[in-house]
Amino acid sequence: MGRTLRERGFKAVATPGWLCYIAPDFDGLRPREGLASCPTVAIFPARNVRAQDCGRVDVSEPASISTGIAQRYATAVFDLAREGDDLAALTSDVEALRAALAESAEFRDLISSPVYSRDDQGRAISAIAGKMGLTQTMTNVLGLMASKRRLFALPQMLRALDEKLAEARGEVTADVTTAKPLSDKQKSALAAALKESAGREVKINQTVDESLIGGLVVKLGSKMIDTSIRSKLQALQNTMKEVG
């Protein structure tokens, strides 16, 4: 069997709701501006990189802080696009970036791993933005996020932009999680049903989570609808425990 993380020299850092493992290369490095983000359970591979080359290493960030950072960037991007009468191009940027995050593990690693330096992230995100044909505004903001070690907030920023764009179109966005992708017909039927509840056109933002087994989870504003089989099984398990 392979050695455990601790046996390999990794150091565990825990805060409420977060567990991170820091590679030996970065042990002792201290953030200069509070704590920034790592994934909920992060394993940072040891590499031959000196700590001073990597700027500030992010070890922990409460979700509320990540959301606040994302909202500020989203507001700045949206306001600039609206002033330039370029919301259609911003919508295209958001869709392209969301697709890239969903399809590329390397892209997700780039924005979340502390192993990459600010310069590495900046060069990589600039090249990616150019290849994707993103607007100059989005490209500049992504570069700024890289320089501030804030690219980890990109998924939350895209969700915030979705909401702002939907509101500008007179729509509301529903985050829908299903065990398998919905067909176009199913999406249309769901959007029509949600429209009756919301009183506005509803845009479906779908995520696939096979652990749901079946059914779906819908978040529409402050409302949450959970009809997943996983949720029903958990409820049944809790009921059996109470009876026992």
Residue of higher predicted confidence among 54 and 168:
168
Arithmetic mean of pLDDT over the chain: 78
Q: For the segment 60-105, what is each residue's pLDDT rounded down to a tens digit?
A: 445 666 788 899 999 999 999 999 889 999 999 999 999 999 899 9
Alpha-carbon torsion, ordered 152, 187, 135, 160, to 10 deg: -40
What are the residue boundaries of the structural domains of the chain, listed by start?
11-54, 63-160, 171-243
pLDDT at 213 exceeding the cut of 60: yes
Q: For the segment 123-174, what is each residue's pLDDT rounded down to a tens digit?
A: 999 999 999 999 999 999 999 999 999 999 999 999 899 889 988 988 888 8
Architecture of 63-160 per CATH?
Answer: Orthogonal Bundle (1.10)
